[in-house]
Structure 1
Amino acid sequence: MKFTHTFLASQDVFFIQSSTQDVPSIEDRHRDTGTENYFQGNLLRQRWRDSHHPGSSHPGTHSSDSNNSNMEDEEQEPGRRAFTLHLGQALRTRQLVIDFDGERPIPRLREPLDLFAIPSTPFQGVRWPIEYEVFKEAIHHIEWDPPDPEPFYQPTGHERAPMPIGEEKGNVVYCIDPGTKTSYFTYSRVGGSRGPIKSSTSCAMHQDKSTLAFESRFESGNLQKAVQVGVHDYELTLRTDMYTTKHTQWFYFRVRNMKAGVTYRFTIVNLMKASSLYCLGMRPLLYSERAAWEKGEGWRRTGSNIRYYRNQHHQAEQDNNTTTNTKSLHSLTWTGQFPYDFDTCYLAHCYPYTYSHLQRYLSRLTSNSATGAYCKLRVLCRSLAGNAVHVLTVTSPGGGWMDRSAKRAVVVTARVHPGETNSSWMMQGFLDFLLGESDDARLLRETFVFKVVPMLNPDGVVVGNYRCSLAGRDLNRNYNTLLRDSFPCVWHTRNMVKRLMAERDVVLYCDFHGHSRKNNVFMYGCTNSDDATQRLHERVFPLMMSKNANDKFSFRSCKFRVHQSKEGTGRVVMWRLGIRNSYTMESTFGGSTLGNRKGTHFTTRDLKSLGYYLCDTLLDYCDPDPTKTSHCLAELRAMLRQELRERLGREVDSDGSLSVSISDIESSTSGSNSTESDGLPVHLLNRIDEQRQVKKKHLRSGKERNRLRQERVRNVDPKVLHRNIKNIDPVLPTEDMVKVRIQEKTVAVVREKKKREVPFVVKVSRQTGRSWIPHPTTRIGVIGHVTLWQEEESEKNEYLDAVRAAYLRTQPPVTAVQQRGFSVPVPTSKIRVHTTPIQQQPMPFSPDHRSHAGMRGGLERRNRVGRMNGTILT
């Protein structure tokens, strides 16, 4: 029996806790949360026993021994208390947790802060892209398995292959907004779009009472359009993965207003894969709410006259608004009947498993106090839309700190591809077994530390995607990414595994998937051809799995070749990190071709049983007795020799060694083209495209810049001069008034000489390298240029005489207001002259010039005004 007492270092407080539950479980559960420090002491342990069992003593001890131990503990307790207080004052941190092994303190670090515990409040609502319309009603399906296995459909060879007619000749009875008003994801909210739900039948030409009513605006639904092309025939168009033009395989929608006993035909016209399990006898799924209510029946296989074929339509695939290639489309057609009139039914590609379903399942786990002792539920990160990506840590709390640190780890993930719902059913079966009360489950929890991520792509699951996240990319091609904000789910998963590997050995990594072109269950692994000592060891675990689930798991379908196109997958990235047993376990959408289950579909019970078999195989693989592993290696060598003999046509050595690699004889059977959704996230590509569309600034030559400057001078200069003259103070010196009036008359003369003077000015501007742009002044605009006065002296005097005479002739009589010093601003001419600036100086007058009689009076009047300013004209 152990008793724990904790203290908060930052507050220097010592707490004592007691509980009636199993003490080791409480101790380890609190230690795993990393929120408190724990200490052990004989005195406290004895006090706990006394408080719960008065008068009892530990077996094999006497009261005197107890008294002695109590006295010793009382002597030691002040020292421990002082150590506790000093530790809290010195460290000032919550990141260090102290365990005591007797008297020896053992420090350890808390778990990372990004793994915060889920509160006891209900799970948060599901977040959708803001432009997506969603019905508020929740959809629940009961879990039920048929009493007998459901057989494959047997083709007759006479199945019809109707070609698409389209809405031109048909009646559109269902059509919704694709939910991608923008070319990339922007933001999200709980419940999707804020506005009211639009009618899905507003585009219908006519709506009969016998027309089926379709709907898919709920979680994981993805029907885009339904066109009635016959009385009971309907063409269906699936929505592609959001923000892409690809990936149409998964379907899930609701049907109402049906008639029982009537044969309806459904044809999906925009499937993109060239082959499908429907060619091998797979049948769609049907769920009736009335049958679930009255009979307790759930999903059933349905349909006849099933055919998967290529139609005459093509679709242009686009990447970042650029058409890359044109892809042929395929159709899936089948006929079926509904069991009841006016029922509510659902049709699906595989058993749905929504994000809300996962939240309900995890809520049941957290509410169970029994599983709470060895299972912790936390949030690994938030998805692009803000939905929580959960991670579970499962391990037994028993043993000391050294025993727990010696445990090896197992990492299991699922649902990186949202349309592969069978992987979630396998994950649920795995967790059901691991958290159960069986002896094997207890042994697994005592031996390993399990890190489980049940849903890696919640955003894609919510919106009904088949393969991509809201970044428009396949997450299982981006485990090596550095873009944490664009691919948070896989980035944090890889980071978690790296931290885990730094603490302990990871014995197994397994990622659950679904496969759309092969039956049975199988694994993809990684072969290390460089290490001869580990030859064939990566095939031992799949071989053991095939022996435990011999009617479902096919070892011959397993592949171990590492292709360059798969370097970004979780399987290869974890293998590169150092996990030797790194696999993806692929479960078919169809069924089994093995043993007594040959030719039958898988049910949810079959899928969950694969999780049980994985746990059982893990115990066999890690058995301390190496007998099973040795037998498997010997069998693998014999199988390899036989396969090489059949393919190469010659005998091999006894050890199976050849000059060829083992993986060279394997072929790839990937379920999807790995290059279709690889690359940068869509929103980054759109930003790059927007930047490319911005018009580049044209770089002009010096000659062109000079020409533009001169044009600006012609357009701007007169306005500047006019503004400056209007702003002249009403009281001006007499000399300034004279300069303004002279400037007005000078412009007219300069205009006459423009043709002769401008070439000379241009020549000067070429020599200096730039032309002059006049600057606005607060007083008088200067129009002089030194080159304009490179004339003979006689021409200059003649010019000045003419200016003076013209000026004096136009002067009005001086008023009393002007004599007191007031002047009216004189507007300047709007004639533009291209000149360069010179220093402002008074206009020179010739002393030899004689004025006529009319001019004399003008000068005398001006001198009377000028005396007030100290300026006299002669």
Structure 2
Amino acid sequence: MSALSKSKKTFPQIPDPAPLSGPVAISSNFCGGNIVHTATIVESPTKCRVELNVDQDPYTELEDTIHSQWFYFKGSLMDPILGGPNKGEEVTVDYVITNANRVAFPSAWPGSSVCVSTNGKKSWERKTKTDYDKAEGTLSWQHVHRQYEEGTYFSFFEPYTLDRHIDLVDRCRATRGVNVSVIGRSLENRDIELITVGTGPLKCWINHRQHPGETQAEFFAEGLLTRLCGLDDFGAVDGLAHKAREAFTFYIVPNINPDGSANGYLRTNAGGANLNREWATTGDYEAPTLERSPEVYYVLKKMDEVGVDAFADIHGDEEMPFNFIAGAEGCTNWGPRLQGLQGAFLGAYCRTNPDMQKEVSYDPEDPNGANLAVCSNQIATRFNCLSITLEMPYKDCYTCPDPERGFTGGRCARLGMNIVDAFMHVKDWLRSEEPFWENLGEDDQYIRPKEEWEGKATMMGQE
């Protein structure tokens, strides 16, 4: 019996793709692509409406749900013989995602803007007039297609492809003092790579992209590795990064979910497992297992082998227009030490990069109420260490807005570079037996965050 057949829920079905017709061809048959073209309504030779559905991840047994929200596709003008425009004509297309109200987080659409590239994915901008119609359940935007463009791509956030991942890993492998190893394979037999940098006694782990549609995470990894390995045009490691490599050994997993990334999923691996709920057994649901979540199984096995003194799990958040961290407040070992470490770490991060802030995050879990199947909670408890989940927005960043471009992959990479500063700030306290928290400065004090912020109701379409 399949996992889906065990569910008592009825899930909406995605229609079959529409036949090729009209002035614009829609394609998502590439790495990370996701969309189903359901209809084209031609209003005139140079105006049409293209209707789309976001395709679904595989069924997730533990949560008894089907996730979806990531989309990434290409729109191309058809040849005149096949219904495309005549030479020199432009075509105005109204793109409409008709199942936008049936995705994982429909409340995330207000304030969102679609990413678009018209130069073959070399650069990305925002469709600032993206509209979510709550009554109709649609997400829509307009684009004028011009002949001889390199290709127009649309996505939920800037894609980070497996080709780019391979190039990043290869550059690390070619760098002196950096070790790249394969610690396991995914369900579809892709490599789970671990990049080790530094020779210090402190073990710092940073995992990325448990949720494959959160591509922000791998841009973050690229920035982090660029700084630690000297991968930029100068080919040199800066002074602080050099000291970090002496203080820490960094264990970096740039993409823990390569199958979901290749298949264009939002939150799951190839078998439908939400990896960020696979770090401990839940009831009679055993996790992690080689059959369901080998990606987590192999990484956790390696963590147990080498140890962890500090940890960050890197994500993107669909709804909140902030960069923020979620901590270990609900773990049984939460107390002055972990609270002091988290406060000082976040204080240093904010001073280094104003895209980070302290006040807004998920409401902290109740004392002793942590879900240990969530990665950062499991690591905080298992290793009694500083352990955080870091989230970046799909939307524009509320604290440092840039409406035309929104929050970008480049800014994710900068946050990746700057996490080195935050870890260096707390390095002497990570395993200290002294009550360091009693002497922290004002900027390093822990602030209990909350999910509410001024202007939230307006941005989220609640007014």
TM over 0.5, yes or no?
A: yes
Offset, 1:466 = 0.6
Question: 469, 494, 498: which one pairs with 2:304?
Answer: 498
Give the equivalent residue in structure 1 for 2:349.
545
Matched, 1:483 2:310: no
Question: 412, 425, 442: which one pairs with 1:620?
Answer: 425
Q: Give matches, 1:38-117, under 5 Å.
A: none
Q: Give matches, 1:487-636, under 5 Å.
A: 487-501=293-307, 506-527=308-329, 533-534=336-337, 536-537=339-340, 538-550=342-354, 552-559=355-362, 561-562=364-365, 564=369, 566-595=371-400, 601-622=406-427, 632=440, 634-635=442-443
TM-score, normalising length from structure 1?
Answer: 0.43
Offset, 1:473 = 1.9
Give the equivalent residue in structure 2 for 1:385.
188
Give the equivalent residue in structure 1 for 2:75.
255
Contact 2:105 2:319 (C-alpha < 8 Å) held by counterparts = no
Offset, 1:340 = 4.0
For each residue in 1:539-595, what CA deviation from the matched residue of structure 2 results, as whole angstroms up to 9, or x when unmatched? 321222122212x11211134733657321111110110232111110001222225
Give the equivalent residue in structure 2 for 1:268.
97
For 1:612 and 1:420, locate their aligned partners in 2 and report how far apart those are by CA, in whole Å.
Answer: 18
Offset, 1:289 = 3.6
For each residue in 1:339-359, what CA deviation from the matched residue of structure 2 results, as whole angstroms up to 9, or x when unmatched? 545652211111111222211
Give the equivalent residue in structure 2 for 1:347.
154
Q: Give matches, 1:400-549, under 5 Å.
A: 407-436=201-230, 437-480=237-280, 481-501=287-307, 506-527=308-329, 533-534=336-337, 536-537=339-340, 538-549=342-353
Name the aligned partner's letter for residue 386 of structure 2.
N
For 2:268 and 2:313, locate their aligned partners in 1 and report how far apart those are by CA, in whole Å.
Answer: 16
Q: 1:262 to 1:458 in 2, by over 3 A?
A: same
Q: 1:560 to 1:490 in 2, by over 3 A?
A: farther
Higher relative contact order (CA 8 A, sep 6+): 2
Partner-residue secondary structure (3-state), 1:591: coil
Contact 1:227 1:236 (C-alpha < 8 Å) held by counterparts = yes
For 1:242 and 1:417, locate their aligned partners in 2 and report how far apart those are by CA, in whole Å.
Answer: 13
For each residue in 1:773-809, what CA deviation from the matched residue of structure 2 results, as whole angstroms up to 9, or x when unmatched? xxxxxxxxxxxxxxxxxxxxxxxxxxxxxxxxxxxxx
Contact 1:306 1:335 (C-alpha < 8 Å) held by counterparts = no
Offset, 1:512 = 0.5
Give the equivalent residue in structure 1 for 2:138.
331
- Identity, % of aligned pairs? 21
Question: 216, 233, 241: which one pairs with 2:57?
Answer: 241
CA-atom RMSD, angstroms? Answer: 3.2
Give the equivalent residue in structure 1 for 2:7.
none
For each residue in 1:398-457, what CA deviation from the matched residue of structure 2 results, as whole angstroms up to 9, or x when unmatched? xxxxxx6xx111000001101000111011101101112211111111111111111111
Structure 1, unaligned runs of 5 or more: 1-165, 177-200, 312-329, 397-403, 641-661, 670-874
Name the aligned partner's letter for residue 156 of structure 2.
H
Partner-residue secondary structure (3-state), 1:229: strand
For 2:216 and 2:244, locate their aligned partners in 1 and report how far apart those are by CA, in whole Å.
Answer: 24
Contact 2:77 2:147 (C-alpha < 8 Å) held by counterparts = no
For 1:285 and 1:242, locate their aligned partners in 2 and report how far apart those are by CA, in whole Å.
Answer: 25
Q: 1:565 to 1:217 in 2, by over 3 A?
A: farther
Contact 1:525 1:559 (C-alpha < 8 Å) held by counterparts = no
Offset, 1:462 = 0.9
Q: 1:566 to 1:235 in 2, by over 3 A?
A: farther
For 1:632 and 1:592, locate their aligned partners in 2 and report how far apart those are by CA, in whole Å.
Answer: 29
Name the aligned partner's letter for residue 545 of structure 1.
Y
Give the equivalent residue in structure 1 for 2:461.
none
Structure 2, unaligned runs of 5 or more: 1-12, 79-84, 231-236, 281-286, 454-463
For 1:343 and 1:531, locate their aligned partners in 2 and report how far apart those are by CA, in whole Å.
Answer: 53
For 2:154 and 2:405, locate their aligned partners in 1 and report how far apart those are by CA, in whole Å.
Answer: 19
Contact 1:239 1:248 (C-alpha < 8 Å) held by counterparts = yes
Question: 20, 33, 36: which one pairs with 1:224?
Answer: 36
Contact 1:529 1:535 (C-alpha < 8 Å) held by counterparts = no
TM-score, normalising length from structure 2?
Answer: 0.78
Offset, 1:338 = 2.9
Q: 1:632 to 1:606 in 2, by over 3 A?
A: farther
For 1:532 and 1:289, locate their aligned partners in 2 and report how far apart those are by CA, in whole Å.
Answer: 51
Question: 113, 120, 131: which one pairs with 1:306?
Answer: 131
For 2:425 and 2:333, locate their aligned partners in 1 and report how far apart those are by CA, in whole Å.
Answer: 27
Contact 2:126 2:405 (C-alpha < 8 Å) held by counterparts = no
Name the aligned partner's letter for residue 603 of structure 1.
T
Q: 1:636 to 1:472 in 2, by over 3 A?
A: same
Contact 1:427 1:608 (C-alpha < 8 Å) held by counterparts = yes
Q: Give matches, 1:16-31, under 5 Å.
A: none
Partner-residue secondary structure (3-state), 1:416: coil
Offset, 1:609 = 0.3
Name the aligned partner's letter for residue 380 of structure 1.
I
